[in-house]
A and B are shown apart, each in its own frame.
Chain A
Amino acid sequence: MFDGLIKKTKIIESEIDLFLDNITKSALVFKEAIRDYSKGEKKDLKKRIEQISDLERQTDEVRREIKFKLYREMLIPDARGDVLGLLETMDDLVDIAKEVVVQIDIEKPEIFPEIEDKFLKLADYSSKAIESTSKAGNAYFRNITEVNNYINKVKFYETEADDVETEIKKIIFDKKDCELSKKIHLRDIIVRVAFLSDEAEEVCERIAVYSIKRNI
């Protein structure tokens, strides 16, 4: 009886680890994809899109598997809702990251040289926010005392991302020799990239509440 249960427990633990690893990988692939696009490395961008699409698919499958197992084996009945909510919102981060990369690939916005560095910086902050969210998630499962540490990092990256977003918008709309339609298009992309850090912060707020509930 116990052997079977411990085996199932270990499997779910490793699936949760895989899920969180995928979130971190997605963040890194996202950052690389933005860099590839900015540098005009189209071949590499295609590869990144494939990578992030695979990660998104795999993350979805793992999340579904964890969900069914938690219900089927009646595990963590008191925290099941929280865990599933957490995994779902974290999964959304990967979905959004993939959507942004695909959107950039399809719409091909023109990244002005004046904003290129800041654009990369923005992508870096959003990517770091997602990475730290994944670490906060891992801490929620393993080491609850570390959760706040990562949440603070996410908050920092989100604020930084907001600042860079505003700076870029100012540069875009101050630019004289550019059509308004291009400016608006670029702004949309910037907003989407910055939105990732906002979403990461939302997830962290959930983790903060769930952690309080997890304290015995």
Chain B
Amino acid sequence: MNSYSLVTILFFLSSGLFLGWSLGANDAANVFGTAVTTKMLKFKTAAIIASIFVIIGAVSGGKGTSSTLEKLGSVNALGGAFIVAFAAAISVYLMTNISIPVSTSQSIVGAIIGWNFFVGLKTDLTVVTKIVMSWIASPILAAIFSIIFFLGIRKLLHNSNIHLIRKDFYTRIGLIVVGAFGAYSLGANNIANVMGVFTETIPLENISLFNVFIIDSKQQLFFIGAMAISTGILTYSKNVMNTVGKKLFKLSPMTALIVVLSSSTVLFLFASRGLKSFLNSYGLPSLPLVPVSSSQAVVGAVLGISIAKKASNLSFKTLGKISLGWVTTPLISALICFIMLFFMQNVFMQKVYSRNIQNRVSINRVEASEYINKGDNYDR
């Protein structure tokens, strides 16, 4: 381990862990909310599945979105990383209090931009554009997927003459499988929000498991972050599930399955390095690896179902609120981060930016750019 003591690391990591806890408490409801409130699954079963798959997703698939956040701004001092994550967490709390749909992805991006401003680093507008376009694309893609899945599943059910009771059985299995996939995608896509800003500042020794698996520094941090998400799921998500399942989206178990499948596919597409490399190797277009909001993907998927059902309850108010979140969340988060960094540096006398390792950071950025640009060539 480097010069930081364990206590110091844990203290500074606490803001990220808090952000992870709140992500787990809030976003697990997007995956299992309806399944639990419609009593298709017990909360305990849902929480255990979600916790396990969030950890697997974070550790095995979290590096893609994390490298994009590094490209946006490599927070290279522990004090700075603490404040960036803390500012993001506070923004989420404030925005939730004033009932604006908020995402940790948007608040962490805002906070990183705030850090860039504070330390005087230029924010790469190409990366910002790519991230914002991904936020806009994610609910739209989720809506498209949910229309396709909805029409496909409806046709399948009509043609297969499955008994109502048997359908219930298959729906339960489907909710478990899709929920596990959703939790995996959530972990893979959103772990960067929780731990991404710490990867530069807390380099840990690699751990070898039976000389077969090597768990590197990032994966260890992602594991710690995923544990925080799991704690959020196990301790607090039940209340949020009740709110999401009963008040916001009253869905039948089958439509809930379609919504979770669609939104999880979107999160997966924006997180999977393997899929991106696979598509790129065949010269096919791929999506950038960007942390997106699972809640907004869910809203997109629900709207998709409304469109497929030709229901006239397309809520422009909801769409407006989402669009508002794309702008206001990063702005507020950046502002809070900027102010907090000032206090951290000038009142608590903590280093929020390290010039000494800037060269290393630059090299990392070049590496990250090369990696991302590989895909960009195909994007264009």
Query: B-contacting residues of A (Cβ < 8 Å)?
Result: 2, 5-6, 9, 12-13, 16, 74-79, 83, 140-145, 214-216
Q: Are A216 and B165 in contact (CB under 8 A)?
A: no
Shortest Cβ distance from residue B260 to the other chain A in the assembled complex, whole angstroms: 14
Q: How many residues on B have C-beta within 8 angstroms of the other chain's C-beta atoms?
A: 23
Q: Are A76 and B164 in contact (CB under 8 A)?
A: yes
B127 sits at the interface (CB 8 A): no
Q: With A13-B163, A144-B158, A216-B252 as given contacts, are A76 and B173 in contact (CB-CB < 8 Å)?
A: no
What CA separation (Å) do A52 and B41 show in the bound complex? Answer: 41
Shortest Cβ distance from residue A209 to the other chain B in the assembled complex, whole angstroms: 15
Contacts of A74 in B (CB 8 A): 39
Shortest Cβ distance from residue A142 to the other chain B in the assembled complex, whole angstroms: 5
Q: Which residue of B lies closest to A143 (CB)?
A: B161
Q: Are B40 and A12 in contact (CB under 8 A)?
A: no
Shortest Cβ distance from residue B67 to the other chain A in the assembled complex, whole angstroms: 39
Contacts of A143 in B (CB 8 A): 161
What CA separation (Å) do A12 and B163 show in the bound complex? Answer: 10
- Choice from B150, B164, B166, B258 contacting A79 with Cβ under 8 Å: B164
Q: Are A78 and B164 in contact (CB under 8 A)?
A: no
Contacts of B150 in A (CB 8 A): 216
Interface class of chain A by DSSP: helix
Scan B163-178; emit 1 where CB is below 8 A from any A CB, else 0: 1111011001100000
A-B pair count, CB < 8 Å, reads 51
- Choice from A13, A78, A215 contacting B166 with Cβ under 8 Å: A13
Scan B7-40; emit 1 where CB is below 8 A from any A CB, else 0: 0000000000000000000000000000000111
What CA separation (Å) do A16 and B167 show in the bound complex? Answer: 14
- Choice from A2, A76, A145 contacting B168 with Cβ under 8 Å: A76
Query: A-contacting residues of B (Cβ < 8 Å)?
Result: 38-40, 150, 153-154, 157-158, 161-166, 168-169, 172-173, 252-255, 258
What CA separation (Å) do A127 and B172 show in the bound complex? Answer: 39
Could you list 16 A-B pairs, sorted by A, with CB under 8 Å? A5-B169, A16-B163, A16-B165, A74-B39, A76-B164, A76-B165, A77-B38, A77-B40, A78-B252, A78-B253, A79-B164, A140-B164, A142-B161, A142-B162, A143-B161, A216-B157
Q: Which residue of A lies closest to B254 (CB)?
A: A216
Shortest Cβ distance from residue A86 to the other chain B in the assembled complex, whole angstroms: 11
Q: With A2-B173, A216-B255 as given contacts, are A78 and B165 in contact (CB-CB < 8 Å)?
A: no
Q: Are A78 and B38 in contact (CB under 8 A)?
A: yes
- Choice from A5, A16, A142, A144 contacting B172 with Cβ under 8 Å: A5
Shortest Cβ distance from residue A83 to the other chain B in the assembled complex, whole angstroms: 7
What CA separation (Å) do A170 and B135 show in the bound complex? Answer: 75
Shortest Cβ distance from residue B128 to the other chain A in the assembled complex, whole angstroms: 40
Shortest Cβ distance from residue A141 to the other chain B in the assembled complex, whole angstroms: 5
What CA separation (Å) do A144 and B161 show in the bound complex? Answer: 8
